[in-house]
Structure formats: C-alpha cells, structure tokens
Structure 1
Amino acid sequence: MPRRARIVAAGYPMHVILRGIDRAAVFFDDADRRYFLEWLSAAAAQESVSVHGYVLMTNHVHLLMTAERDAGVPAVLKHLGQRYVQYVNRTYRRTGGLFEGRFRSAVIESDPYLLACQRYIELNPVRAAMVAAPGDFFWSSYRANALGERDPVVTPHPVYRDLASSEDARLSAYRRLFAVELSIELLQRLRDCTNGGFVVGRPQFERQIAAMVGRRTWKGSPGRPPKETDVGAQTELAF
C-alpha cells in the first residue's frame, strides 16, 4: 500500500518531529546540539523557512516552522539530516541512519493553536522531568521567546509578535501563558495529529487545507462510512 502523501501548505506553520531509529539517542554531546542548530539555521535561511520554536531532546527533536513554498520544510530536513548524520557517523565512528526514515508533521492553524504548539514544544523537557522549568533547559527556543536571549535560529511568528507592542511586554505576556497548563485533550491532539500527518485547527481550517491538498486532513472514525450522509459528511468523504 503506498504511503499517504504528506500534508504541506506554504505559509502555514508546521509542527515536525524527528525521532531516532528505535528511539535511540541522536545527540551525544552538547557539541552535537550546537552543530545541529547551526546547520538548521543555515538550511532554513537557504530554503526561506522560518523556525519559530524548537527543542532538542536526547532521542528526538521538535520543530515549529513556516515555509514560503510547499517543498521548504522537507528540503530543510533533507539538508539538515544529511549533514548532521554524516557528522555523527564520522565523529562517533558509526555507520547507517540515525533518524526514522520519515519525519512526522502536522499543519497548524496559527490562531488559536500556534502558541499552544510552541508551548507544547518548549515544555517537553519539563514533562520528561529533565528540568523543573522550561528556562532551565538550554536547548530550546524558550530562552529566546520568553527571556529575550538572542537565538539566530528563531524567527518570531506574527501571532507571537501580536502579544504586545514592546519586547519587554511581549516576553512577559509569553511567560504568563506558561502559568496555564495545556489540557490533556490538546496535548493528545497535537501528538495524534503530528504522528498521523493531519491538521491541528478548527473544522473550517481543516476543510480549507483539505480543499488545497485534495484529501481529508483530520483523523477519520473507525469502521465503514454510512451509506446515507449529510452534506458535511459528503465533504469529508470526498477527501
């Protein structure tokens, strides 16, 4: 059975997960993470892709990116993967692949889901009990987005910029968002949609992207579809 085509939509944010094969480590030293970010920044600039959020865990990576063209994000990950895997294999005298063959991704509706996805990414080290607070973890975009530290990788999204008119007020407003826990339902939806290659957004946004890509962009219900359907169900089955 052929693989389902990935949903890509230029101009819309995309949440991406890169995992190590069999969940094995992909970073072995802080130098590895520095090189990864350096090459990520270079590849993103080359392909006109903006990186809004990231976290480098031990055995996987989360990225939140917006591309100017449909092929932008896949191109960044191809360049990055090739260069980084060559570096790891050369440095640690190993051979073969490092990441799972296909990255996981979901298109994100900017408002109201982008900042929730960004927080989800930056809170990964806290959920993994690696640190007590997101600012304690060096290898994420939190220190740029919440503390104002310079990070050449990060390009703020317009939704983030709209939090306030001044930088200090924006940083403060962003930090306040972390006082409210992300719901279990939202966490699960972000995971399911990214692992399944769907869209995170309101129904109207899901239908909008479905019309663009020519297929269903939301998780279907198990079982056979009913023979008699209303107009909304017919629209869903068309993709």
Structure 2
Amino acid sequence: MARLPRLTIPGQPHYVVQRGNNLQAIFVDGQDYASMKDLLREMGRRFGIEIHAFILLPNQVHLLLTPQTAQSLPQFMQSVGRTYVRTFNNRHGRSGTLWEGRYRATVLEAQAWLLPAMVVLEHQAVVHGLIGRAVDYGWSSARHNAGAQVDGMVRLHPAYWRLGDTPFAREAAYATMLDRGASTDLQEVVLGAALKGWVLGSEGFIEGLKSGTERRLQRQKAGRPARAQGEKAE
C-alpha cells in the first residue's frame, strides 16, 4: 500500500517520530545528543517551529511541536536530518544513511490530545528501560515541563496552561501525570497514529480539517482519551 502524503496543518500540534535505520543507534555519546538538541533549537527558530516536548532516545527522536506554516515542518525536519547525518558521519568515520526513511507525523487536537501525547512522549525513556522515572531522563523536556529545570528551547502550549492558575500548580499537576505514566493502550493509540499518519481528534475536529485536504485523515473513529490519564475535567 502506498504511503499517505504527510499532513502539515499550520497552528496545530503535531507528534513527530524520526527513527534510525533498522532502529540502529543514532546517538553514540553525549556529544551526539547535544548536537541534535542544538540543531533542534537552531532550526526551530529558523523555520518557525514551537517545540512543546521532545525526547532523544538512543535510536529515535520524538517531538511534539507546532509549525507556523505549511512548509515549516518539512523544512525543519529536512534541515535537522541532513545536518545531523553529516555531523554524525564525520565524527564517527562512517558514510551512508542514518534514518529509517522519512519522518512520521500526525496532527492532533490540542484540547483533547496534547497533554496525553506529552506524557506518552516523555515517558518513552521509562518504556525503553533507560530510566526509572521520566523526570530523571536528561535528554527530554520532562524536567522542564515538570518544573525541575528550565529549558529555553521548550515552548508551553496553551493546553498546558490550563493545568493550573500558577506555574507551580501547572508543574505539579503535570509532574503527577508524568509519574502516573501512560497506559499501554494510550501509547499504542498515540504512537500508532504518528507512525501511520492518522489524525488524533474528535469527529468535529477531523471534519474541520477535511475541507483543506483530499488526503484521508483517519482509519477509524478517534475520540477523547480517558481522563484517568490525569487531565482535569473541563
């Protein structure tokens, strides 16, 4: 089956995954991780990308971001990918591809899905057995979003601000969500949508997107995730 064309909707959050070829390592040491983070920061500013959450795993990168224009995301990912491969190959005396083809991404409805998607993303270090608590992983946005440190690359989404009336309240609420983690079902929904390109959102949200594209947006109905994941009731 032919792959769907990638969908980029300016002003809407996207969950993006870029993996190593055959899931091989894309980071060998701390300098590699730092190089990738520097690139994300630089290219994000250059191409109009707001990064709300990120995690750098040994063989993949996950990003939760909002592009300003229809070209922001593809230009950002192309520039990050090409520059990082050149730097990585030069450092480690190798040649050839590093990535598993093109990046994968899904658009998601912020009100219902942004916070659950953040938890899924930042919890990946725990899922992959790299750390016991997500907030202790150094190469992600978890410490920033949980209030443990400040990371100037991360931009808080309005959906995050609804967690509380003060920075402390928001950080504490999110830290609790992060410690609870994400259920296996929620991970499968979010990561499956990102890898397959299906939009995550309510029927009304998806219908609103259909007017701007002829691309198929969903395989089956997508709804609001269970509030048990820690999100406040509206």
Scaled by the length of structure 2, what TM-score is found?
0.90
Aligned match of 2:206: 206
CA separation in 1, counterparts of 2:2 and 2:127?
Answer: 35
CA separation in 2, counterparts of 1:131 and 1:149?
Answer: 18
Aligned match of 2:23: 23
State the shift of 1:177 in Å.
1.7
1:150 maps to a residue whose letter is: V
Query: Where does structure 2 lack aligned partners over 5 or more consecutive residues?
Result: 222-234
Give every structure 1 segment of 4 or more consecutive aligned residues whose post-TM-superposition deviation is greater than 6 Å. none
CA separation in 1, counterparts of 2:141 and 2:181?
Answer: 18
SS at match of 1:18: strand
Of residues 123-132 and 185-194 in structure 1, the stretch that sits farther from structure 2 once superposed is 185-194
Aligned match of 2:44: 44
User: Does the CA-based 8 Å contact 2:123-2:181 persist in structure 1?
Assistant: no
Count of aligned residue pairs for this structure pair: 221
Aligned match of 1:67: 67
Aligned match of 1:232: none
Tell which structure's C-alpha radius of gyration is larger: 1
SS at match of 1:85: helix
Equivalent residue runs for 1:134-213 within 5 Å: 134-213=134-213
Cα RMSD over matched residues? 1.6
Aligned match of 1:78: 78
Identity of aligned residues (%): 29
SS at match of 1:106: strand
CA separation in 2, counterparts of 1:58 and 1:215?
Answer: 33
Aligned match of 1:12: 12
Query: Where does structure 1 lack aligned partners over 5 or more consecutive residues?
Result: 222-239
1:77 maps to a residue whose letter is: M
CA separation in 2, counterparts of 1:135 and 1:18?
Answer: 22
CA separation in 1, counterparts of 2:186 and 2:218?
Answer: 15
User: Does the CA-based 8 Å contact 1:207-1:217 persist in structure 2?
Assistant: no
SS at match of 1:188: helix
SS at match of 1:61: strand
User: Does the CA-based 8 Å contact 2:133-2:179 persist in structure 1?
Assistant: no
2:53 maps to a residue whose letter is: G
SS at match of 1:63: strand
2:30 maps to a residue whose letter is: D
Scaled by the length of structure 1, what TM-score is found?
0.88
Of residues 146-155 and 117-126 in structure 1, the stretch that sits farther from structure 2 once superposed is 146-155
Change in CA separation of 1:39 and 1:181 when aligned onto 2, cut-off 3 Å? closer
CA separation in 2, counterparts of 1:167 and 1:114?
Answer: 18
